[in-house]
Amino acid sequence: MPRHGAAGAMSGLVLHGYWRSSASYRVRLALALKGIDYAQVTHDLRLGEQSAPDYLALAPHGLVPALEHDGGVLIESPAILEWIEARWPSPALLPGDPDAAAMVRAMVALVACDIHPLANLRVLKTLRQDFGASEDQVQAWMADWIGRGFTALESLVARHGGRFAFGDHPTLADCVIVPQVYNARRFAVPLEAYPRLVAAAEALLALPAAGAAHPDRQPDAAG
């Protein structure tokens, strides 16, 4: 199992992921924004390494990311994000007000539950292999589901956003929105209809810590 370590890994955390996995990117962003050191282990999704027996022993669902900590293993990025926030509450990525925190969580769910699962690698493979979808049809599928979710997010950012997706400080909402915008750009999904959403993503990417979490800057990034 290839291991790529961040300097020191003082926290004892090991992030199992893949450079272009948007769910892994979410976790890297949260860790970076909080200044938490960690080591990385790569599982190349293109080669199916997430289905290897040694990884399934850690993460039975066969997906990345998984986060090892002090003998335990966490799976599913929304749960990992909440755990990070609970363990390292400063700087906060959830507002203290319950109503505001619920709205941030709703933004997270819009991406993690409504958009991402329908444009995941295994879904796209199923469309191609089991239903004979052409690349144009797969592209249209992704654009449709991303567009539906982004339309809702654009409205929410218009109501609640400031410099970032919710208010003037980064939140967990930004941690999931930025990777989804990255995916949209990767698949050439038009973004002109979502100026507030894109501006919030760009604001987070302008932070040095967030830049370090970018897929292109990971040790396993393809050349």
CATH code: domain of residue 185: 1.20.1050.10
What's the CATH number where 19 sits? 3.40.30.10
- In angstroms, rounded to a whole number, what is the distance separating the alpha carbons of residues 166 and 157? 6
Per-residue pLDDT at 71: 81
Mean pLDDT of 81-106: 98
43-52, 103-112, 214-223: range with lowest mean pLDDT:
214-223
The confidence band for 11, taking pLDDT boundaries of 50, 70 and 90, is: low
Question: Are residues 156 and 187 located together in one domain of the fold?
Answer: yes
The domain boundary, picked from 91, 119, 150, lies at 91
Confirm whether 102 is domain-assigned: yes
**pLDDT score, position 223:** 52
Same domain, 153 and 130: yes
Of 195, 221, 208, give the one whose Cα is nearest residue 29: 208
The residue with tokens 């020191």 is 8
Residue 102 sits in the same domain as residue 83? no
Same domain, yes or no: 191 and 103:
yes
Do 76 and 130 sit in the same domain of this protein?
Answer: no
For CA atoms 78, 30, 218, 178, give the dihedral sign.
positive
Q: Distance between CA atoms of 68 and 12, rounded to whole angstroms?
A: 8
Q: Are residues 72 and 123 in the same domain?
A: no
- Whether residue 5 is predicted with pLDDT greater than 50 in this model: the reply is no
Confidence of residue 119 (pLDDT cuts 50, 70, 90): confident
Which residue bears the tokens 């295994």?
122
Q: What strands, in cross-sheet order, belong to the sheet with 13-17?
A: 3-5, 39-42, 13-17, 66-69, 72-75
Maximum distance among all Cα pairs of the chain, rounded to whole angstroms: 48
Domain end among 38, 60, 91: 91
Domain termination site, one of 38, 63, 91: 91
Give the residue numbers spanning the domain of 175: 98-208
Q: How many domains does the chain have?
A: 2
Q: Is residue 129 part of a domain?
A: yes
> Would residue 166 count as lying in a domain?
yes
Looking at the fold, whether 162 and 108 belong to one and the same domain comes out as: yes
Report whether 62 contacts 56 (CB < 8 A): yes
Q: Are residues 109 and 53 in the same domain?
A: no
The pLDDT tens digits of the residues spanning 164-187 come to 999 999 999 999 999 999 999 998
- Confirm whether 131 is domain-assigned: yes
Under 8 Å CB-to-CB from 139, ≥6 apart: which residues?
A: 187, 188
Give me the residues paired with residue 74 across strands: 67
Residue 39 has pLDDT above 70, yes or no: yes
